[in-house]
């Protein structure tokens, strides 16, 4: 076997190996897309073309090296090597672009259900997670409670120290609240200074105890921009979820906890109020 033949064989094996690698990656991405419920027919076509590339590399290596080991390798054969090598490289680049596209779409999907300031679920994300948690508790016969939070006199913070200071308070309150909740609890910022937490497998009495810990955590961990003895405080309403569909019971509990929250505001703020049982039922 001449040196040219050996180099040609190595080049063909490299091209065939790249085609095989790219084909495996294409099939793996196709299977992942199918599990996610997405259709990616281009990946199937790509795997087929790459499979043909593997077969063509083996056939050409056999013909030019094994069948004619002493024949010189012509310029056209080397030219086709370069052209064929571009196929797996292009396929790998296309899959990289597809992966970047999928990551960008995932980030957009996350942003659509996430509050950018606090990192908590926004109203849409909160409701989606809450519905799933409620459905699980319904199947297991567990109670569910809901907390509604509202930072006290938050408008004064924005008006007196600016929205940047208000954002710091909101982010700090979110961290303080999240630090008191369990892994299965659902915490979200519904808008402005309003937050809510769904508590699976929790009775109203247990929720009231947790709400009190949350209230104290906000006082202790969130500095007021005024400084000195000024405190950041929160009023909290507690309600139980009644029977019914997840969306209906959540809406009713939100209304009940809001009513309890405003009762806490009227009684002086910085306190926890329980919703009457009749208000918690849909």
Q: What is the pLDDT of residues 43-101, one digit of tens each?
A: 888 888 888 888 877 776 666 666 655 556 665 666 767 777 788 888 888 888 888 88
192 or 63, which is more confident: 192
> Catalytic residue at 193?
yes
Report the candidate in 194, 193, 200, 189 with the shortest Cα–Cα distance to residue 114. 189
What pLDDT, on the 0 to 100 scale, is given for residue 160? 92
Q: Which of 40, 193, 206, 226 does the annotation list as catalytic?
A: 193
Average pLDDT, the chain: 86
46 or 12, which is more confident: 46
What pLDDT, on the 0 to 100 scale, is given for residue 280? 43
101 or 274, which is more confident: 274
Measured CA to CA, the distance from residue 181 to residue 126 in angstroms comes to: 15
> Could you tell me if residue 270 is left (phi over 0), alpha (psi between -120 and 50 degrees) or otherwise beta?
left
pLDDT, mean of residues 196-222 = 95
> Is residue 281 very low, low, confident or very high in pLDDT (cuts 50, 70, 90)?
very low
What pLDDT, on the 0 to 100 scale, is given for residue 282? 39
Q: Convert the pLDDT of each residue in 210-264 to its tens digit.
A: 999 999 999 999 999 998 889 999 999 999 998 878 888 999 999 999 999 999 9
The answer to whether the CB of 110 falls within 8 A of the CB of 83 is no
Residue 21 predicted with pLDDT over 50: yes
Which of 11-15, 90-94, 176-180 shows the lowest per-residue confidence on average (mean pLDDT)? 11-15
Q: Convert the pLDDT of each residue in 141-175 to its tens digit.
A: 999 999 999 999 999 999 999 999 999 999 999 99
- Segments making up each domain of the chain, as ranges: 3-112, 123-280
CATH class, 123-280 region:
alpha beta
Residue 42 predicted with pLDDT over 70: yes
What pLDDT, on the 0 to 100 scale, is given for residue 41? 85
């Amino acid at each position: 076997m001449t040196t040219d033949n050996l180099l040609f064989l190595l080049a063909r094996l490299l091209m065939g190996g790249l085609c095989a690698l790219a084909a495996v990656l294409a099939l793996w991405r196709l299977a992942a897309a199918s599990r996610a419920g997405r259709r990616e027919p281009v990946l199937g076509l790509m795997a087929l073309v790459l499979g043909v590339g593997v077969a063509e590399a083996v056939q050409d290596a056999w013909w030019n090296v094994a069948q004619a080991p002493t024949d010189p390798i012509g310029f056209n054969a080397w030219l086709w090597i370069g052209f064929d090598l571009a196929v797996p490289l292009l396929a790998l680049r296309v899959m990289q672009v597809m992966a970047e596209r999928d990551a960008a779409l995932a980030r957009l999907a996350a942003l659509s259900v996430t509050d950018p300031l606090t990192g908590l679920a926004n109203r849409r994300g909160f409701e989606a997670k809450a519905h799933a948690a409620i459905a699980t508790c319904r199947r297991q016969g567990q109670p569910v409670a809901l907390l509604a939070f509202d930072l006290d006199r938050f408008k004064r913070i924005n008006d007196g120290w600016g929205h940047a200071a208000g954002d710091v308070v909101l982010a700090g309150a979110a961290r303080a609240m999240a630090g008191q909740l369990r892994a299965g609890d659902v915490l979200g910022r519904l808008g402005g200074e309003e937050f809510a937490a769904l508590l699976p497998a929790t009775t109203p009495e247990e929720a009231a105890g947790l709400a009190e810990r949350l209230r104290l955590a906000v006082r202790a961990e969130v500095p007021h921009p005024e400084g000195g003895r000024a405190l950041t405080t929160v009023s909290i309403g507690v309600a139980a979820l009644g029977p019914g569909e997840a969306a209906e019971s959540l809406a009713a509990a939100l209304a009940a906890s809001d009513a309890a929250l405003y009762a806490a505001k009227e009684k002086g703020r910085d306190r926890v109020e329980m919703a009457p049982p009749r208000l918690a039922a849909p």
